[in-house]
Chains A and B, each alone.
Chain A
Amino acid sequence: MKLEVVRARAERFGGIVEVARPRALLHVDREMMRELGQPHSPLWDSAAPDDAPLVAPTEVHVVLSRRCAAGCTGCYVDATPDGAALSLDEARRILDELAAMGVFHVALGGGEALELDYLFEVAAHARAVGITPNLTTSGLGLGVREAERCRVFGQINVSVDGVGDAYRRVRGFDGFRHAERALRLLRAVKPEVGVNCVVSRSSFDGLAEVARLVRRMRLNELELLRFKPVGRGARLGEELTPDQGRRIYPLARRLMLRHRIRVKLDCSFAPMVFWHRPSARAAAFWGVQGCVAGDVLAAVAPEGHLTGCSFAGPPEADARVPGAARAAWSEGFASFRSFVRSAPEPCASCEYLRLCRGGCRAVAEAHGAFSAPDPGCPRVQEWTARTAGRGQVAGGGSFALPVVRG
């Protein structure tokens, strides 16, 4: 067996190579890039600073629209049936720009991207310019024909925040049957189909049911996404309790072992993982990181705004303008990139700071300060309780999260 390099991009430390089987992105040093026959890069002529961002994101989340008929109570993008959307031409131009920058993957979403009649043309264009398109969908409106056309995507995840009636309780509409049908149709045409589950205060106890569904339908992953108090979700009071925050990583491991499924936690869960003190070397090798906005990740909004992530950060450029994204990437995103250098306590003294990066900026911003430590981090909660003279919070119950801005 040989790992075939599909694409490669030079970086200061060496480069990133994409291999197709197994599908992976590998960071390699300069020597390996030379061994692989990659051309010399001027980036290699000077020492690589430890904290330099990548020369381009590896992945960009393209929010194609704020258009969706479902009306979920916690929708992050405030989607409505007639919300804003990128046009096909705009989406194509943005993909051209991202391809020229060396982006490997795009995550297409919304809104409900399947409501756009040009979604598959966008995906085909991404393939044509060398980018792997991936999709998140609620599954609403997905029929046999659409499922067949979904072969164009890399990974497709269907949002399932609970099984059966739990779905309705969490999302505010009865969509489980649609989601289950979509999973079945998609799984019949491709193996790279998984479930996205937003982990909120209400959905936490139903995660085992969702894991069983993933196992039963032979899906390839369960992605657990931390609830973020943004968009319509800002007013729901659904953030995890401190006790749930401490339990999420052990629970994810248990679900993985019990159901023999791949379980992933999103980057905003990093503080909850690092609180359990996993091997920092292993975490670095597997790319386990906290906020990756403005480094590994960028996002494009339906209005064209380029941001560090789709949940937070100021617009850095209009991605629809040729050259704007590339120019912004080299100079912008200071609010994300400067956190590690100027981290306040208790992050400053945390041994995982360089990996965790202070947790989720979107959650911190929702609680009042973009550059503050993530208030959902167990270490931050313990430190806050200590400095406030309120004693330990181990075991959970007494710590109150700050009030989220309306």
Chain B
Amino acid sequence: MIFRKGRVLRATFGCNPNSSSLGVDVTFLLFGAIFASALALMLGALLRRPRTP
């Protein structure tokens, strides 16, 4: 059996104080799909990481 690790599919940072600003974070959109994929892996690893005592 192949063990498949879970994935992070989407990330939105910060909080939105507005009626309609769940839109485009220009800061992140500057970085392309490769950066997004790498970050998804990193976020997944940090989510799984055991809590340090």
Q: Are A223 and B18 in contact (CB under 8 A)?
A: yes
Closest approach, in angstroms, between the C-beta of A252 and any C-beta of chain B? 5
Closest approach, in angstroms, between the C-beta of B27 and any C-beta of chain A? 5
Number of interface residues of B (CB under 8 A): 44
Closest approach, in angstroms, between the C-beta of B22 and any C-beta of chain A? 5
Q: Are B29 and A282 in contact (CB under 8 A)?
A: yes
* CB neighbours of A225 from chain B (8 A): 18, 20-21
* CB neighbours of B31 from chain A (8 A): 282
* A28-B47, A287-B11 known; A157+B4 contact, CB < 8 A: no
* A223-B18, A264-B26, A270-B23 known; A285+B11 contact, CB < 8 A: yes
* CB neighbours of B1 from chain A (8 A): none
In the complex, per-residue mask of B1-22: 1 if CB is within 8 Å of any chain A CB, else 0 = 0001111111111111111111
> Which residues in chain A, 272-302, are within 8 Å of chain B measured between CB atoms?
273, 278-279, 281-290, 292, 296-297, 299
A17 at the interface (CB under 8 A from B): yes
A105 at the interface (CB under 8 A from B): yes
Q: Are B17 and A262 in contact (CB under 8 A)?
A: no
Number of interface residues of A (CB under 8 A): 82
* A26-B8, A31-B7 known; A268+B15 contact, CB < 8 A: no
Name the CB-closest residue of B to A36. Answer: B47
Q: Are B23 and A284 in contact (CB under 8 A)?
A: no
* A249-B26, A262-B25, A279-B33 known; A3+B46 contact, CB < 8 A: yes
* CB neighbours of A157 from chain B (8 A): 17-18
* A32-B6, A281-B33, A282-B35 known; A311+B20 contact, CB < 8 A: yes
Name the CB-closest residue of A to B44. Answer: A32
Docked Cα-Cα span, A281 to B33, in Å, equals: 6
Q: Are B11 and A26 in contact (CB under 8 A)?
A: yes
Q: Are A5 and B47 in contact (CB under 8 A)?
A: yes
A269 at the interface (CB under 8 A from B): yes
> Which residues in chain A, 205-264, are within 8 Å of chain B measured between CB atoms?
220-221, 223, 225, 249, 252-253, 256, 262-264
Docked Cα-Cα span, A270 to B20, in Å, equals: 11
Closest approach, in angstroms, between the C-beta of B36 and any C-beta of chain A? 4
Q: Are A28 and B9 in contact (CB under 8 A)?
A: yes
* CB neighbours of A310 from chain B (8 A): 19-20
Q: Are A288 and B25 in contact (CB under 8 A)?
A: yes
Closest approach, in angstroms, between the C-beta of B18 and any C-beta of chain A? 6
Closest approach, in angstroms, between the C-beta of B48 and any C-beta of chain A? 6
Q: Are A23 and B8 in contact (CB under 8 A)?
A: no
Docked Cα-Cα span, A3 to B20, in Å, equals: 27
A85 at the interface (CB under 8 A from B): no
* CB neighbours of B39 from chain A (8 A): 285
Q: Are B6 and A29 in contact (CB under 8 A)?
A: yes
* CB neighbours of A29 from chain B (8 A): 6-7, 9
Closest approach, in angstroms, between the C-beta of B52 and any C-beta of chain A? 7
A33 at the interface (CB under 8 A from B): yes
Docked Cα-Cα span, A268 to B20, in Å, equals: 7
* CB neighbours of A4 from chain B (8 A): 51
Docked Cα-Cα span, A33 to B8, in Å, equals: 10
Closest approach, in angstroms, between the C-beta of A24 and any C-beta of chain B? 5
A374 at the interface (CB under 8 A from B): no
* CB neighbours of A278 from chain B (8 A): 29
Docked Cα-Cα span, A309 to B11, in Å, equals: 22
Stretch at the interface among A129-137, A160-168, A171-179: A129-137
Contact of B17 among A28, A107, A253, A283 (CB under 8 A): A107
Closest approach, in angstroms, between the C-beta of B6 and any C-beta of chain A? 3
* CB neighbours of B36 from chain A (8 A): 279, 281-282, 285-286
* CB neighbours of A136 from chain B (8 A): 17-19
Closest approach, in angstroms, between the C-beta of B12 and any C-beta of chain A? 4
Could you give 26 example pairs across A and B, Cβ below 8 Å?
A1-B49, A2-B50, A14-B9, A27-B10, A28-B8, A29-B7, A61-B20, A107-B16, A134-B15, A153-B17, A253-B26, A256-B27, A256-B30, A263-B27, A264-B27, A265-B24, A267-B23, A267-B24, A281-B33, A282-B31, A282-B33, A282-B36, A285-B10, A285-B33, A285-B37, A287-B12
A-B contacts besides A23-B13, A194-B17, 4 pairs, CB < 8 Å: A135-B17, A192-B14, A223-B18, A264-B24
